[in-house]
């Protein structure tokens, strides 16, 4: 018998069907002709980037008002468009040059307003690149099947980049089924219903295993060299990117002498509310590598890169009963502890798969591809001349140490 779930998912913008993906499919275009200049540029984004012509086109854009945006989907669409234009503008360096350290008012002014409305930073987040960047035949389509999906926008126009984003979309869609299951399990802890909790943990484990199977499909259509040299540079943020040519971050020019330097992480899987949810419901905690008594600041900061409603949802789930503590206390039901350890082990395996992909798509290419003299300064060039242990991810963290620590902390949660 099911217990009453303590959380109304819809209240937090979490879909019973699609999880942290939007319940309605993302808009393909802003219908108001007022925004046609934005839509015209992003429609040609790969071509403009290839011809090194984006900067000129963006500089000539008018500074548009956000007053014509009405629905949440329109605000999300505007955020996505300006996210792509922002990273394209910053990293579409001229021949032999470095990234742009200035973002013009045509992007800065509306982007700051839109980001504030959505509770997100004005940069290309996981939401812009993945959650709001896909299309399907209908909202009833099985979004966990990559073959049912198409991407809305890419920087490179390559199938590789499309596949890279859609892997995450499919994982989010498949993982959606465990959200109500685990909320129900946390409610069942209050009534000490070990049967419901046990079944939920088993369901969780098998679901995460399937998420890992989807992640393993990355190599089917995304080539490591294409990702490393052409795609990854556009995903980099402006924080901890001095080695890539942004020692001060980026100046968001608001016109009339106003503006400020800002530093943001780039798109990162650490910004996935689904993965954060998995950690929360299992009681997996991430700590500062230098101070074991302090929570890992990067994970805490990445919450700010999630939609506001999703952050609030995670905070609400954190306040609920602990499945880990319940499983540890039920010594008379050893199967419960076994189910918990099974769930944790599958999440650890998922992170192992992620590390293997990082090794194939970033670590190895960084040793194989020497930077060309005319490529300008970007994350690929910087990574190719950086020692392995100091390689940074697009989110700005040291890559391998961060991922290995996250994996090990997941493993250590299964300690009983």
3 state SS for the chain: CCCCCCCCHHHHCCECCCECCCCCCCCCCCCCHHHHHHHHHHHCHHHHHHCCCHHHHHHCCCCCCCCCCCCHHHHHHHHHHHHHHHHHHHHCCCCCCCCCCEECHHHHHHHHHHHHHHCCCCCCCHHHHHHCCEECCCCCCCCCCHHHCEECCCCCCCHHHHHHHHHHHHHHHHHCCHHHHHHHHHHHHHCCCHHHHHHHHHHHHHHHHHHHHHHHCHHHHCCHHHHHHHHHHHHCCCCCEHHHCECCCEEEEEECCEEEEECCCCCCHHHCHHHHHHHHHHCCCCECCCCCCCECHHHHHHHHHCCHHHHHHHHHHHCCCCHHHHHHHCCCCHHHHHHHHHHHHHHHHHHHHHHHHHHHHHHHHHHHCCCCCCCCCCHHHHHHCCCHHHCECCCCCEHHHHHHHHHHHHHHCCCC
Residue pair 343/208 in contact (Cβ under 8 Å)? The answer is yes
Q: Domain ranges in the chain?
A: 9-412
Which residues make Cβ contacts (< 8 Å) with residue 93, sequence separation at least 6?
99, 100, 245, 376, 377, 378
Residue pair 198/326 in contact (Cβ under 8 Å)? The answer is no
Residues paired with 241 in a beta bridge = 246
| Residues flagged as binding site for heme b | 354
The closest of 179, 174, 133 to 5, measured between CA atoms, is 179
**Rg for the chain, CA atoms, rounded:** 22
Q: What is the pLDDT of residue 95?
A: 46
Give per-residue burial for 334-347: e unless 16+ CB within 10 Å, then b: eebbebbbbbbbbb
Phi (first) and psi of residue 253, to 5 degrees: -80, 120
Rounded Cα gap, residues 41 and 61, in angstroms: 9
CA geometry: angle 398, 356, 341, nearest 5 deg: 95
| Residues flagged as binding site | 354
Q: What is the dihedral of CA 246, 249, 252, 253, to 10 degrees?
A: -50
pTM equals: 0.92
The closest of 273, 290, 317 to 184, measured between CA atoms, is 317
In CATH, what number does 9-412 get? 1.20.58.480
pLDDT of the chain, 416 residues: tens digit per residue: 445 577 899 999 999 999 999 999 999 999 999 999 999 999 999 999 999 999 999 999 999 999 999 999 999 999 999 999 999 999 986 545 689 999 999 999 999 999 999 999 999 999 999 999 999 999 899 999 999 999 999 999 999 999 999 999 999 999 999 999 999 999 999 999 999 999 999 999 999 999 999 999 999 999 999 999 999 999 999 998 888 889 999 999 999 989 999 999 988 899 999 999 999 999 998 766 665 566 778 888 999 999 999 999 999 999 999 999 999 999 889 999 999 999 999 999 999 999 999 999 988 888 886 555 444 556 655 555 555 555 656 555 666 777 778 888 887 887 66
Q: For residue 90, give both structure tokens.
A: 């910053």
Which residues make Cβ contacts (< 8 Å) with residue 150, sequence separation at least 6?
134, 135, 136, 162, 166
Q: For residue 316, give both structure tokens.
A: 């609400």
Tokens 């802003």, residue located: 30
CA geometry: angle 245, 251, 253, nearest 5 deg: 145
C-alpha to C-alpha distances, 55 to 29, 89, 163, 218, nearest whole angstrom: 22, 6, 27, 31
Rounded Cα gap, residues 385 and 157, in angstroms: 27
Q: What is the pLDDT of residue 242?
A: 86
Q: What is the pLDDT of residue 374?
A: 43
The closest of 317, 301, 302 to 127, measured between CA atoms, is 302
């Amino acid at each position: 018998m099911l217990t009453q779930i303590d959380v109304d998912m819809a209240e937090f913008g979490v879909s019973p069907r699609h999880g942290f993906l939007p319940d309605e499919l993302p808009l393909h275009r802003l219908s108001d002709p007022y925004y046609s200049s934005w839509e015209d540029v992003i429609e040609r984004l790969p071509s403009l980037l290839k011809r090194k012509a984006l900067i000129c086109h963006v500089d000539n854009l008018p500074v548009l008002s956000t007053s014509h945006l009405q629905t949440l989907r329109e605000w999300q669409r505007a955020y996505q468009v300006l996210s792509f234009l922002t990273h394209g503008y910053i990293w579409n360096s001229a021949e032999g040059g470095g990234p742009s350290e200035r973002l013009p008012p045509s992007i800065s002014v509306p982007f700051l307003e839109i980001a504030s409305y959505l509770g997100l930073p004005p940069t290309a987040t996981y939401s812009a690149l993945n959650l709001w960047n896909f299309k399907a035949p209908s909202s009833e389509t099985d979004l966990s099947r990559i073959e049912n999906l198409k991407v809305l926008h890419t920087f490179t126009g390559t199938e590789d980049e499309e596949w890279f984003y859609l892997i995450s979309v499919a994982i989010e869609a498949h993982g959606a089924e465990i959200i109500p299951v685990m909320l129900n399990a946390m409610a069942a802890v209050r009534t000490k219903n070990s049967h419901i909790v046990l079944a939920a943990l088993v369901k969780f484990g098998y679901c995460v295993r399937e998420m890992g199977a989807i992640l393993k499909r990355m190599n089917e259509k995304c080539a490591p060299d294409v990702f490393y040299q052409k795609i990854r540079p556009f995903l980099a943020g402006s924080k901890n990117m001095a080695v890539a040519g942004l020692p001060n971050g980026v100046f968001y020019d608001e016109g009339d002498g106003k503006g400020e330097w800002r530093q943001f992480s780039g798109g990162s899987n650490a910004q996935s509310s689904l993965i954060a949810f998995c950690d929360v419901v299992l009681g997996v905690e991430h700590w500062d590598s230098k101070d074991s008594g302090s929570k890992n600041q990067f994970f805490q900061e990445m919450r700010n890169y999630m939609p506001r409603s999703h952050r609030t949802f995670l905070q609400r789930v954190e306040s609920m009963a602990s499945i880990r503590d319940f499983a540890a206390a039920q010594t008379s039901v050893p199967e419960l502890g076994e189910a918990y350890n099974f769930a944790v082990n599958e999440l650890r395996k998922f992170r192992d798969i992620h590390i293997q992909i990082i090794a194939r798509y970033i670590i190895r290419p960084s040793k194989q591809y020497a930077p060309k003299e005319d490529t300008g300064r970007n994350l690929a060039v910087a990574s190719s001349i950086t020692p392995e242990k100091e390689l940074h991810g697009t989110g700005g963290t040291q890559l391998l140490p961060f991922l290995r620590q996250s994996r090990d902390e997941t493993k250590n949660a299964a300690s009983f």
